[in-house]
Amino acid sequence: MSIPPVALAAAHRARAIATIARTRSTKPTPVLDDADRTALRKIAELLDEAAHTLETEPATTDNDGLHCPADVLLSLQATEAVALAHPRIGIPRTLGQYVTAALYPHDSAESEVDLPLTLLPRTPKAMVREADLFGRIHGLHGTLRFVTDQATTMLVLEDVFRLHWQHARLADSIAADRARSDSGQTSLPAAVDIPTPATPRALRRAHDELGPTLTYELNSASLSCFSRVHPQPHPAIRMVSHYGVTIPTCDEHRDAAAHTAQELYDALD
């Protein structure tokens, strides 16, 4: 029995996305609850099943080209249903297209993957952020249509699914802003504790994975707490970062520092 190379390529995509979902289920982010982590593991399981079928059952061909085995389509439809029911996990509703697109020539409509649905943001900053994410996702979709080796395919899929995760976090942010606006209340961002990042790149990756506001211990006490409550500066033992805008602080002023970092970030146009 001969398995077409494109079917093997689709199987590799399915296993790659399964790995991404399974890894995400283990991330120590408070954004995900137990139901979300279970959903990610279920998606990984269904994708592994789809990959196994693609690797063992030859796809049928006719005048319209190559067709997925029915069991593969059912597995992919099930993954999309799970993703749709758990939007916080950052797995797109177009999940199945990332797998089946490999079955078709790169210049065909079937090889395209749809962009996420717009969040209909109200503020200019959120509009720019979503447009930037859409542009980057679209660019990676174009790259994915032409790559053939497994290593590069995995790297591109990791990048594009990281952007889908960021789009899900933007959805959370927009929803929170609307809720605060509707209620007339303001709230402080929750700062997630992380190990001290070694580089700005590591901090950016932590923001991508864990959320907008992070806090970590300072390696030295050479910085002063940002607060002016005390008549004399006192050492800062922590850093609060909101999307990379950092404020040195102490434990007493941690929440205020988180609020200040958010305000500074929002002021950057």
On the question of pLDDT at 48 being above 90, the answer is yes
Q: What is the pLDDT of residue 66?
A: 66
Considering the chain, what is the average pLDDT of its residues?
86
pLDDT band at 13 (very low <50, low <70, confident <90, very high): very high
CA distances from 27 to 124, 168, 170, 231 (A): 31, 15, 18, 41
Whether 188 and 255 have beta carbons less than 8 Å apart is answered as: yes
Sorted by sequence, the CB contacts under 8 Å of residue 124 that are 6+ apart come out as 269
For range 11-28, the mean pLDDT:
95
What pLDDT, in 10s, does the model give residues 123-134? 777 888 889 999
Sorted by sequence, the CB contacts under 8 Å of residue 10 that are 6+ apart come out as 54, 68, 99, 100, 102, 103
Q: What is the pLDDT of residue 169?
A: 87
Question: What is the enclosing helix (H) or strand (E) of 267?
Answer: helix 254-267
The pTM is what?
Answer: 0.72
What pLDDT, in 10s, does the model give residues 78-127? 999 999 999 999 999 999 999 999 988 888 888 899 999 888 887 777 88
Phi, psi for residue 60 in degrees, rounded to 5: -85, 150
Phi, psi for residue 239 in degrees, rounded to 5: -125, 135
